[in-house]
């Protein structure tokens, strides 16, 4: 048997089959055990999970973030542009803001409302019902048109390069398997799958990293790193692709990632994604009925600290292996016709027989867990924010059934959007552009909502609407002008060039500034928030005591280490 085969052999397929059966059994066992403990269906447990340990929360947050866009897009970007996209991945420090700043506010809202909340719940309570409804609609549309469809699309690409599967077989197969898993597994299934896939994914990706460097360096990992850096430093017209910041206009990457603006823009998107996005925040909201506030916050905060550690890893797991693949291709050691094939080719080329099968189990679990997280969040938003208010007093079994139907509808809509996504050849840039247009409004209404008592309900509502409409108008111009690359003739286009031609990161920053001014301007002209709304962001002395009791030396040391690791990466690749 050829242990160094560059293809999947019978041993890999056998390991893969046994592993998948083992994963299915583990998830099924966890779900059955959980249902017996609950003595029946529980919509809260199905949608949110209940009282998971902090390390499970950390792995679930990490797993919800890691999807096929990382296996395909991030590795492909590393092969093409080096560490330029690392700003969006080196955000372990941003997850800490969720644990330290937002979790206490969300827990306060849970106490006041007497139930687990969704992000629209928070906005309905702090601003107006219309604000929460707008957020639900925006989130559902964004999930269907970007998250679900893109994950399926890039999953199909990954399986095409890994196994030679027809694209549609891989994409449709991934959606169907995930839909079945989400319908019957709920949040408990997602959490269990996350605990299984996270260690396999991390170990497998680092095997790809180190074996790839060893291959590049003729058996020496250090030599491989030096060779990779030397090659990447010659790219980009001699400016290199080993820098996170591009300062000079002669640098061909300056137009896309101009100077320090790239860090600010990535931080705006990161703040929205890690602190206010339903499918991430959902992992820290589960709790046992009657549980002490301090214990809930301690578990959630430590979960975010654990996720912060995990979030340092993707650059090494995916982005740098993409850079290695480009270096190996330049030497003729591998054949890589397009950069999106980078990670799948690395798995086939550098991992020994048997290990390929084990690592692929982790990758499949990652794809399913990530897509299932989006499906589950869509079911949660629809059930909690639209259906329950209309159909009060129904049984828990009924609400769980409705959540499952909502998941099926999301799957169908995801199928319908896939052919359109197939026609977009700049998928990763498209995703970044969509996020940059949605994030500023989300950041402003959530940050001002918890930090300012002067911001009025109507100001929050109108800021979300205006921010969304401006973002969608910019998206339309992006489609018409190929994201500002095309030259548009006519007085109208020439006079509005500042709107449609401005760099997407610069536009994002100015949109944030405009919305900050807008929300306070409207606040001066509209009725002040009620005492109840102000109380929703005001900690009582007892709650302050619970916050203080929820953290200790472990939390502080862990937080400082996460921040230090992120700073070290920025220092090395400055």
539-563 pLDDT tens trace: 877 788 888 888 889 899 999 999 9
Residue 246: strand pairing partners:
258
Identify the CA nearest to 153 among candidates 279, 69, 62, 74: 69
DSSP result, 37-58: HHTS--HHHHHH-S---HHHHH
CB atoms within 10 A of CB 31: 17
Q: What is the pLDDT of residues 13-69, one digit of tens each?
A: 888 888 888 888 877 777 777 666 655 544 444 444 555 788 888 888 887 787 667
pLDDT tens per residue across span 283-337:
787 654 556 778 888 888 999 999 999 999 999 999 999 999 999 988 888 888 7
- The tokens for 101 are 């700043």
Query: Over 80: is that where the pLDDT of 209 sits?
Result: yes
DSSP letter for 496, please.
Answer: T
538 torsion bin: left (phi>0), alpha (psi -120 to 50), beta (else): beta
**pLDDT confidence band for 222 (50 / 70 / 90):** very high
Q: How many helices (H) and strands (E) does the chain have?
A: 29, 0
Those residues whose C-beta lies under 8 Å from the C-beta of residue 168, and which sit 6 or more positions away, are 156
Half-sphere exposure for 138 (CA within 13 Å, toward CB): 25
What's the whole-number mean pLDDT along residues 202-208? 88
Residue appearing with tokens 């900690």: 539
Q: 258: which strand partners?
A: 246
* pLDDT score of 324: 94
59's tokens:
């792995």
**How large is the average pLDDT for residues 155-183?**
79
Task: Give 103: exposed, middle or buried? Use CB within 10 Å, 0-12, 13-18, 19+.
Answer: buried
Between CA 156 and CA 172 the distance in angstroms is: 8
Q: What is the C-alpha separation between 282 and 65, in angstroms, rounded?
A: 12
Q: Round to whole Å and give the CA distance between 545 and 568.
A: 35
Residue 423: C-alpha distances to residues 13, 147, 153, 365, 549 (Å): 33, 17, 11, 27, 53
The pair of structure tokens assigned to 166 is 């027809």
Quote the pLDDT of residue 79: 87
Domains and their CATH numbers in the chain = 10-30+53-423 (1.20.1730.10), 426-538 (no CATH)
pLDDT in tens, 229-277: 999 998 887 888 898 998 888 788 888 788 899 999 999 999 998 998 8
pLDDT reported for residue 511: 95
Contact status, residue 44 vs residue 110, Cβ threshold 8 Å:
no
pLDDT digits (tens, 9 = 90+) for 424-438: 545 566 677 778 888
């Amino acid at each position: 048997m050829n242990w160094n085969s560059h293809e999947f052999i019978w041993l890999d397929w056998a390991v893969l089959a046994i592993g998948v059966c083992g994963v299915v059994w583990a998830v099924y066992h966890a779900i059955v055990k959980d249902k017996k403990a609950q003595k029946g269906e529980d919509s809260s447990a199905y949608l949110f999970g209940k009282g998971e340990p902090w390390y499970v929360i950390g792995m679930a947050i990490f797993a919800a973030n890691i999807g096929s866009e990382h296996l395909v897009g991030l590795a492909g970007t590393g092969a093409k542009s080096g560490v330029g996209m690392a700003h969006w991945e080196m955000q372990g420090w941003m997850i800490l803001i969720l644990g330290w700043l937002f979790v206490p506010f969300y827990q306060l809202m849970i106490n006041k409302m007497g139930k687990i909340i969704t992000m629209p719940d928070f906005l309905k309570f702090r601003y107006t019902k219309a604000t929460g409804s707008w957020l639900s609609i925006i989130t559902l549309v964004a999930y269907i048109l970007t998250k679900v469809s893109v994950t399926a699309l890039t999953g199909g690409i990954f399986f095409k390069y890994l196994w030679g599967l027809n694209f549609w077989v891989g994409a449709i197969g991934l959606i169907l398997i995930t839909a079945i898993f989400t319908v019957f597994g709920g949040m408990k299934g997602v959490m269990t799958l996350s605990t299984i896939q996270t260690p396999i994914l991390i170990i497998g990706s680092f095997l790809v990293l180190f074996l790839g460097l060893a291959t590049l360096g003729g058996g020496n990992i250090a030599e491989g790193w030096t060779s990779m850096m030397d090659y990447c430093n010659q790219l980009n017209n001699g400016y290199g692709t080993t820098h996170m910041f591009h300062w000079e206009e002669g640098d061909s990457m300056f137009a896309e990632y101009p100077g320090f603006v790239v860090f600010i823009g990535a931080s705006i998107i990161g703040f929205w994604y890690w602190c206010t996005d339903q499918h991430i925040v959902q992992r820290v909201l589960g709790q046992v009925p009657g549980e002490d506030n301090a214990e809930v916050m301690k578990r959630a905060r430590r979960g975010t600290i654990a996720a912060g550690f995990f979030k340092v890893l993707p650059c090494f797991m995916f982005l740098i292996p993409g850079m290695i693949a480009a270096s190996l291709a330049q030497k003729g050691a591998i054949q890589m016709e397009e950069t999106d094939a980078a990670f799948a080719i690395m798995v086939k080329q550098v991992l020994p027989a048997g290990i390929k099968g084990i690592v692929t189990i982790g990758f499949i679990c990652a794809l399913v867990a990530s897509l299932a997280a989006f499906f589950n969040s869509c079911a949660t938003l629809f059930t909690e924010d639209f259906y329950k208010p209309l159909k009060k007093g129904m049984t828990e079994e009924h609400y769980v059934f409705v959540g499952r139907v909502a998941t099926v509808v999301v799957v169908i809509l995801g199928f319908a959007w896939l052919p359109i996504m197939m026609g977009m050849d700049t998928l990763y840039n498209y995703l970044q552009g969509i996020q940059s247009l949605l994030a500023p409004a989300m950041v402003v209404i959530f940050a001002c909502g918890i930090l300012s008592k002067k911001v009025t309900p109507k100001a929050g509502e109108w800021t979300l609407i205006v921010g969304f409409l401006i973002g969608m108008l910019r998206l339309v111009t992006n489609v018409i002008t190929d994201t500002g690359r095309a030259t548009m003739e006519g007085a109208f286009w020439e006079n509005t060039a500042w709107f449609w031609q401005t760099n997407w990161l610069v536009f994002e920053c100015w949109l944030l500034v405009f919305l900050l001014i807008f929300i306070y301007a409207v606040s001066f002209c509209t009725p002040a928030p009620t005492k109840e709304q102000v109380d929703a962001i005001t900690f009582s002395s007892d709650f302050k005591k619970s916050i203080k009791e929820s953290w200790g030396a472990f939390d502080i040391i862990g937080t400082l280490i996460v921040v230090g690791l992120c700073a070290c990466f920025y220092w090395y690749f400055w």
